[in-house]
Structure 1
Amino acid sequence: MAARIGVGTAGHLRSGLFYGTFGIRCARVQHSAPLSTWSQLKLSSTSAHDGRAKPPFSSPFILPARRMQMRHKSIFQHRWFHPESAPGQPPKQSYRVFWTMTFVLGAFSAAYIKWIDPYLTHRAEMAALAEKQAASASTEPVFDKDNFLPFEIKKIESYNHNTKLITFSTPKGQATNLPVASALFARPADEEGGPKDDKGNPVVRWYTPVSDASQPGEFTVMIKKYDTGKLTPYIHSLSVGDKLAFKGPIKKFAYKQNEFEHVGLIGGGSGITPLYQILRHALKDPNNTTKFTLLYGNLTEDDILLRKEFDSLKQQHPDTFNVVYFVDKKKTKDSTVQIGFITKDAVMKYLPSAAEKGNKIKVFVCGPPPQMKAISGAKAGMKQGELSGALKDAGFTEEQVYKF
């Protein structure tokens, strides 16, 4: 249909051009040629309707062009006036319609690829981002401080030979927005089928999420399996789709940005998670001025948790973060890895003087009970307990130390 319309329109345009051009040429002949020239024109002056003779034509602009003969035929040699283009015989120009449609479709495709498609993609991305931000900004809390709520496992990743990263989905896609530093109580969602303590109650332990608290829709905990433990073997046996119950948050220490000039972090084993929570939160702030030093003890280099994350943070913040790893067995020549325990000498070597810094320094400690006893002294239940060990020997006071 479109081709027929195009051909018809072109035919009308050419007919118009024919009459207009021919009229102009006739006007030129009329003004320049004598009357005898016009007498050579064979004109049909008899009407087809009434047979009466018509007067001579007074204007060349109304001459019936198809009935005229002219010696000067250059106008008829133009490609538009070939015999096949005569009125009543539409020109064969389907190839022109084809190329016109090809050009139009090509131009539309180019416009779609350059402008329309990126625009639609951008709109979709912005809509998805807005949805995530709306979920993150939800005021409804993810956890309950008084009751355990079940959370479904979304993803499980093996971190090393005895540690897994387990990601849980939040019920309405919200972010946890957990304060720093805080943790969560965990227990089996299936109270009957899960492990029990000596009194027959479900085993409860606390864990610190290692994921960004502003991440919508999920949170991740790092679980190290202890063969003699009661809960960690059970958690390691769970699969994607299973559930674990959480309650909280348990607020540990209300960290304030740039409150201290220097912060010492001393950890061991899976006790590194609350220290990592503080460190990442602080270094994420572009206005952070606090300097951090991490002393992290493990049995072997393979047992060092979050090592890639710590090394990356050190590379990104060389002026505000330093890390030293302590192991019993070393297999590389890495200068950041030392053989031995975290002792008084190590504390005095890598941390600023407690006496000089006063209340401008804070040391956070978290690790297995033997390490806690050797470095800071054990906690007294939920209380901090008396300070002892390497930190006291190095001159630190109870006000300068916090035990997780």
Structure 2
Amino acid sequence: MVTGNQILAYGLIGVAGTLLLKKASNAYYLDATFLERIALTHNVDHYKFAYKSKNAPKTMPILSKAFLKTPDNQKGEFTPIFNDDEGYIHFSIKNYGRTVSGALAQLQPGVEGIRISKPRKHFKEDVPLDKFKQVYLIGAGVGLAPLWGYMNACLKKSESPTKIKLIYANHSKDDIIFKKELDDLKIKYSDRLEVVHVLKTQVDGKEGEFTKYVGSRLNKEILKCELSTGAGDDDVKVFVCGPKKFVSMVSGSPWWYGGSLKDLGFKKDQVYMFH
């Protein structure tokens, strides 16, 4: 039989445990300042933050992720897109008009109460920047953001032999984020970077870079054409990021491997999926 004293003891233990968890959670987050918001498309914004603490990380590691809390305690997890702007944190976030993205869209620079967690790795193993001979990046919409950091870091590593092909799907050309920056990278690293656009809507026939795949969503036939080599090759890796249905079509999910890449002969350990 449980006595009153035992019930009280269990209750005190529960309260103590809750307080410890709350304290640990608070220690995981650091106060941050919201500095800037720039519109990238009609529904994607670029946000710039800075940690307030002197003990905060100076940079966000490549392929890391962090939680962000708004003053009204809306929370979301995002991948920083730059790691070379010391002292600052950059996110590109699609505004869905609700939860954390909707709350962020209403904030003004300088507002107090933003908290950002310490970064943690997307993948258990470290992903090298200079080991693979070929990397395919497959993204849709704002799904380019997590791929962007790896692509830039890899290209800037001058001794890296890695060639990169970005296959980037969007509804229209107006939904492409970092269009100018992509064009600049294509010129600067013309021997190492190839960009393939896939657009659902039609474009002017004179716009050559958009005429290869228009009026269609990304599908297995396009992937078969663009990923014609590398299946089964450990020196070839594929990174995938986008909406759940998009990722499912391309590679399954982080919890089960499948989709077009599996059908095309790519091994599970060749593929990195963001989630």
TM-score normalised by length of structure 2: 0.81
Measure the CA separation in 2 of the matches of 1:181 and 1:145.
Answer: 24
Residues 240-389 of structure 1: pairs in structure 2 closer than 5 A: 240-243=109-112, 244-253=114-123, 254-332=126-204, 333-337=206-210, 338-339=213-214, 340-355=216-231, 358-378=233-253, 384-389=254-259
Aligned partner (choices 35, 48, 62) of residue 167 of structure 1 = 48
Does the C-alpha gap of structure 1 residues 146 and 393 become closer, same or farther in structure 2, counting only changes over 3 Å? farther
Report the alpha carbon displacement of residue 204 of structure 1 after superposing the two structures with TM. 2.5
Alpha-carbon distance, 1:151 to partner:
0.8
Please say if residues 134 and 237 of structure 2, whose CA atoms lie closer than 8 Å, have aligned partners that are also in contact. yes
The reply on whether 1:184 has 2:91 as its aligned counterpart is no
Where does the alignment leave 5 or more consecutive residues of structure 1 unmatched?
1-143, 195-201, 379-383
Checking the alignment, whether the CA contact within 8 Å between 1:255 and 1:278 is kept in structure 2 is no
Of the three residues 79, 89, 94, the one matched with 1:208 is 79
**C-alpha separation in 2, matches of 1:240 and 1:204:** 18
- Measured after TM superposition, the shift of residue 336 of structure 1 is 2.6
SS state at 1:364 partner: strand
Shift of the 175–312 alpha-carbon distance from structure 1 to 2, 3 Å rule, reads farther
* Cα shift at 1:307: 1.6
Offset, 1:372:
0.9
How far, CA to CA, are the matches of 2:130 and 2:142 in structure 1? 26
Residue number in structure 1 paired with 2:31: 150
Q: Post-superposition shift, 1:216?
A: 2.7
Cα pair distance change 1:305/1:205, threshold 3 Å? same
* 2-structure distance, mates of 1:329, 1:236: 27
In 2, the alpha carbon distance for the partners of 1:395 and 1:236 equals 42
User: Is the CA contact (8 Å cut-off) linking 2:65 and 2:78 kept in structure 1?
Assistant: yes
Please state whether the residue corresponding to 2:61 is helix, strand or coil: coil
SS at match of 1:354: coil
Q: Alpha carbons of 1:145 and 1:371: their partners in 2 closer, same or farther (altered >3 Å)? A: farther
Q: Whose strand proportion is higher, 1 or 2?
A: 2
SS in 2 for 1:311: helix
C-alpha displacement at 1:386, in angstroms? 2.0
1:292–1:320 CA contact under 8 A, matched in 2: yes
CA spacing shift, 1:304–1:209, aligned 2, 3 Å: same
Q: Is the 8 A contact 2:48 2:90 kept in 1?
A: yes
Task: Give how far 1:346 is off.
Answer: 1.6
Q: Of the two, which has the highest radius of gyration?
A: 1
Counterpart CA distance in 2 for 1:330 and 1:248 is: 42
Counterpart of 2:167 in 1: which secondary structure? strand
Which residue matches 1:223?
93
| Paired residue secondary structure (2:223) | helix
Q: Calculate the aligned-residue CA RMSD, in Å.
A: 2.1
For the residue of structure 2 that corresponds to 1:240, the secondary structure is: coil
Identity %: 28
- Deviation at residue 313 of structure 1 after TM alignment: 0.8
Q: Distance in 2 between matches of 1:210 and 1:163?
A: 14
| Cα separation, 2, equivalents of 1:265 and 1:252 | 16
**SS of residue paired to 2:150:** helix
Give the alignment's TM-score, normalised by structure 1. 0.56
The answer (yes or no) to whether the contact 2:74–2:103 under 8 Å persists in 1 is no
Separation in 2, partners of 1:396, 1:336: 27
CA contact (8 A) 2:130 2:161 kept: yes
Q: CA deviation at 1:327?
A: 1.4
Letter in 2 for 1:252: H
Structure 1 residue 162: Cα displacement: 1.4
Q: State the shift of 1:352 in Å.
A: 4.1
Q: 1:152 corresponds to which letter in structure 2?
A: T
Unaligned runs of 5+ in 2: 1-24
Query: 2:10 maps to which residue?
Result: none
- Structure 2 SS opposite 1:349: helix
Please give the per-residue CA displacement for 1:288-338, whole angstroms capped at 9, x wherever unaligned.
210001111111111111122112111111111101111111323333322
How many Å apart are 1:282 and its aligned residue? Answer: 0.6
- Counterpart of 1:281, as a letter, is A
1:402 matched to which residue of 2? 272
SS at match of 1:359: coil
After superposition, the C-alpha distances for 1:43-67 in whole angstroms (9 at most, x for unaligned) are xxxxxxxxxxxxxxxxxxxxxxxxx
Structure 1 residues 165, 350: CA separation in 2 closer, same or farther (over 3 Å shift)?
same
Q: Tell me which protein shows more helix as a share of its residues.
A: 1
